[in-house]
Structure 1
Amino acid sequence: MAAEAITPSTPRPVRWSTLAQWWRDVTFAHWPVAPARVAGLLPPGTRPDTLDGVTYVGLVPFRMHRVRLPVEPGVPYFRTFCETNVRLYSVDGAGRRGVVFRSLDAARLVPALVGRLGARLPYTWSRMRLHRRGDVITYTCVRRWPRSRGVSGRLVVRVGRPIAEPTPLEHFLTARWGLHVPWRGRALYLPNEHPPWPLRRAELLHVDETLIAAAGLPAPVGPPVSVLHSPGVPVRFGPPVRTG
């Protein structure tokens, strides 16, 4: 089946929320990669999602905020922390576009363990920091567990003007309404919903990272083709759906 249309708002509203959170101070940095190079890294039943024959690897640092389950108010220590993910883009047999996380570095050990053991997501525990001075934001990450010697990242961006209408590529990289997760030889689709991203242009001032190569992907060559920033959105996740 052909991939669904790319829309700025979710095509599948979440009726029953299983998890709620905010994604704050989000930066999206992306590099192109050949679909054949990453096809074997995706869950069964999914394929690389492409735009004009190209797919992308994303490095996305941000601040997780107000994380909570529907039945509890949340513990402050676990509710807000820095996170960085390395991600690919996927589409399943039903045409649902999604994200595949190759790694997720989190600054809190317990959420990392819950995500790793409960949702089978490749979470790691890392020492992380987000520092903002005016329009310049610095994200740092040094992996702690599982032990991966020398795996770290530092990204510095200057946040620019708001984007009135994102380009097709900017929509493709940000308008994602779920993720594909490997589960017992197949893929599960975890839907989410949030308001349209309020996006801004961003200038990359510095990047020094080994997170992408550690995730089994080719190390980026040259600057990213797209750097965006968003102050953030509230997010709700729904129950998982089998892909086939």
Structure 2
Amino acid sequence: MEKPWVMTQEWHDVLFLHWRIAPQLVQPHIPKELQLDLYEGQAWMSIVLFKAKHTRLRLLPPIPIAGTYLELNVRTYVKYKGKSGVFFFSLDADSRLAVKTASAGNFLPYLHARMAMVDQGETYKFKSKRTNRNSFPETLDLSFRVTSSMPKKSRLEDWLTERYCLWTKPKKQLFRVDIEHSPWQLFYVKGTIYKNTMASFLAFSFPQNLAVTHYSVKKKVRFFPPVPEY
């Protein structure tokens, strides 16, 4: 990276949920500058949830109060001038301070939600309900358990998870944010979705079954300064 990283955090108990979706349902909802990144002609939508810990800016200690929180994001896969990454439709968090900071200037679509993740030994239970005014109270309610480690990621699993930048478009300017972390070590997962209304703006309802689903124990991530795209 040309510039030094500006923020770091750890992601714990990361759950990836992935579903195929027809490209024509997604394209109208991403910035016109971006192109959908397709896998064998299909677009993909993903829900990713985790616990963020040890959030801090470069050369500073962890942020008090807002340094640890639960996050739930909804994303799709995009390209810009040949470079692949992700575009976030929403990023929900259970820390009002984290939401206020990350959504300043509408840079990223962070929204507050009431969330809980409970480790019951072999099973995790997760529930989130958005609380923002003037926003649909989108809900995710599920349970899952980790079954076994994955010896090697398939081409699709690698394509879905090894993403190292995101794009966002506050107002009229498109920005890219690069991230850095080691490759994902994934585990197989079994679980049940009780309710899922995320991305309610799409003419698409997520199936109530877990499609392509994986878990990772922990990942340390570094974020780099936003870069304007022209």
TM-score norm. by structure 1 comes to: 0.88
Q: Deviations over 1:100-145 (max 9, x none)?
A: 1111110000110111124611111111111111221111111112
Q: Which amino acid aligns with 2:23?
A: P
Aligned Cα RMSD in Å?
1.7
1:8 aligned partner: none
1:236 aligns with 222
> Does the C-alpha gap of structure 1 residues 118 and 14 become closer, same or farther in structure 2, counting only changes over 3 Å?
farther
Map of 2:66 onto structure 1: 78
Structure 2 letter corresponding to 1:48: L
- Confirm or deny that 1:188 pairs with 2:175: yes
CA distance in 2, matches of 1:202, 1:68: 30
Distance 1:24 1:205 in 2: 20
**1:205-224 equivalences in 2 (<5 Å):** 205-213=192-200, 215-216=201-202, 218-224=204-210
In 1, Cα distance between equivalents of 2:83 and 2:208 = 31
Per the TM alignment, residue 99 of structure 1 is displaced from its structure 2 partner at its CA by 1.1
1:97 aligns with 2:84: yes
Question: Contact between 2:193 and 2:209, CA under 8 Å: does it hold in 1?
Answer: no
Amino acid of the residue matched to residue 53 of structure 1?
A: G
**Aligned counterpart, 1:164:** 151
Contact 1:26 1:62 in 2 (8 A): yes
Aligned length: 230
Measured after TM superposition, the shift of residue 149 of structure 1 is 5.1
Greater CA deviation, 100-109 or 145-154? 145-154
- Counterpart for residue 10 of structure 1: none
TM-score (norm 2): 0.93
In structure 1, the residue matched to 2:28 is 40
Could you say which residue in structure 2 is the equivalent of 1:62?
50
Q: What is the percent sequence identity of the aligned residues?
A: 28
Q: Tell me the amino acid that sits aligned with residue 37 of structure 2.
A: D
Q: Verify the 8 A CA contact 1:155 1:208 in the aligned structure 2.
A: yes
- Distance, in Å, in 1 between the alignment partners of 2:44 and 2:117 is 24
The whole-number CA distance in structure 2 between the counterparts of 1:31 and 1:38 is: 12
5+ long unaligned stretches in structure 2:
none
Q: Which shows bigger deviation, 217-226 or 51-60?
A: 217-226
Q: 1:190–1:238: 8 Å Cα contact kept in structure 2? A: yes
State whether residues 15 and 49 of structure 2, in contact with CA within 8 Å, keep that contact through their aligned partners in structure 1: yes
What CA distance in whole angstroms lies between the structure 1 residues aligned with 2:182 and 2:54? 16
Gaps of 5+ in 1: 1-12
Instruction: Pick the aligned partner of 1:108 from 79, 95, 112.
Output: 95
